[in-house]
Structure formats: C-alpha cells, structure tokens
Amino acid sequence: MNVVNPIRCKKQLEAVKGYLRGKNKRDYLLFMVGITSALRISDILSLKVNHVWDGKKPAEFIELNEKKTGKYKRFPVTPNLKKAIKEYMAEYDGCPDDYLFVSRVGKNKPISRQYAVMMLNQACDMVGVEESFGTHGMRKTWGYWAFKSGISLDYISIALNHRSIAETKRYLGLLQEDLDNIYLQVNL
C-alpha cells in the first residue's frame, strides 16, 4: 500500500479545487466532501443525495455510521461545502435515494475507489502536487489543516477516530515535521 500525504500548500489545495470544479462538478464535490469531513473514501462513496440535500437546500449536518468502525459520525456542512453542493445539485437530475457520486456505469452505483484515486491523482498532477496523493490524502489534508489552524490534536484525534494523539501525529506526518524543525532550531 502506498503512503499518501496531505496537500500541505494552500495554493495547491485551491488549484486542485479549481481544476476539479471546472472539469466535473461531481468530482469537485467528492473532493470537497473529502477535505471538509475527514471521512474515509468508503464512507464518502456510500453517501446518498438525501444525506447532503433536503430537497431545496444543503443539509446543515451530514450523519452516518462509519463503515470501518461502525461509529456514528455527524459533522456540519461548511459554507464552502454548501456552495459545492448547490453547484452540483443545480445540474443534478436524479432521485434523493440515489448515490451522491453515481457512476455513469450501471444503474445507481457509486463511482469506484479506483476511479476516485485516478481522478484525484490526475487533478494533483495537473496542478503540480508532487507528493503521493490518493483518496486517503483528502482525510489527511483535513487533519493537517485542522492542526495548522490551531485545532487541538485531542479533537483532531477524536474526529479521525484514532486511539491516541501519537497515532494522529504519525498519521499526519507531524512527527517528522516536528523533528525537522527541532534540527533547524538547534542550528549549531
């Protein structure tokens, strides 16, 4: 299994958003859900339209039971995510019980994990993201930017359903970054 990384540069993060937004609203929404929710790809792909849209406007919260842990998860729909949902729904012509990220292949099936990986890698390549990125990179991106925004690792660890803060630090690549900064600070 390849190790993936978060997108650590805001300009690159915005560039990926812009690229996907201009290319395909469904793929843009998938990326937005991924970077604003800390969900795993299996949970993102299982979302139905009625998870995010009440028939007239975006939902205030998204609620589900995580596939991997079975734990209940609820998170608010951020203003940026609301915009992405509105843009997608303006072009949507399916049913509320359909998968949100419906594939063009088959009847009411979500896109595949493989398609999601390929789509994300293509977007990252197009905007110059050099580090390895994949579907799990969206979850890591959320955690990384939550930390950079000053959110306590305690809360980030809870949101990611990690057992410890040390696990969260490793997961986000913060241990190596912290060690690098220590060497730079000592500067003998």
Q: Which of 139, 140, 144, 169 is catalytic?
A: 139
CB 170 within 8 A of CB 156: no
Identify whether 68 is a catalytic site residue. Answer: yes
Q: How many domains does the chain have?
A: 1
Inside any domain, residue 20: yes
Task: Tell if the pTM clears 0.75, that is, is over it.
Answer: yes
Inside any domain, residue 174: no
Identify whether 51 is a catalytic site residue. Answer: no
DSSP reduced 3-state for 53 = strand
Least confident of 29-38, 74-83, 107-116, 175-184: 175-184
Q: Which residue has the tokens 């589900």?
A: 64
Q: Which of 25, 40, 82, 140 is catalytic?
A: 40
Q: Which of 56, 68, 71, 107 is catalytic?
A: 68
Q: Which of 19, 28, 92, 171 is catalytic?
A: 171
Torsion of Cα atoms, 65 then 74 then 137 then 89, to 10°: 100
pLDDT digits (tens, 9 = 90+) for 29-58: 999 999 999 999 999 999 999 999 998 999
CA–CA separation, 38 and 6 (whole Å): 12
CATH code (residue 89): 1.10.443.10
State the pLDDT at residue 100: 96
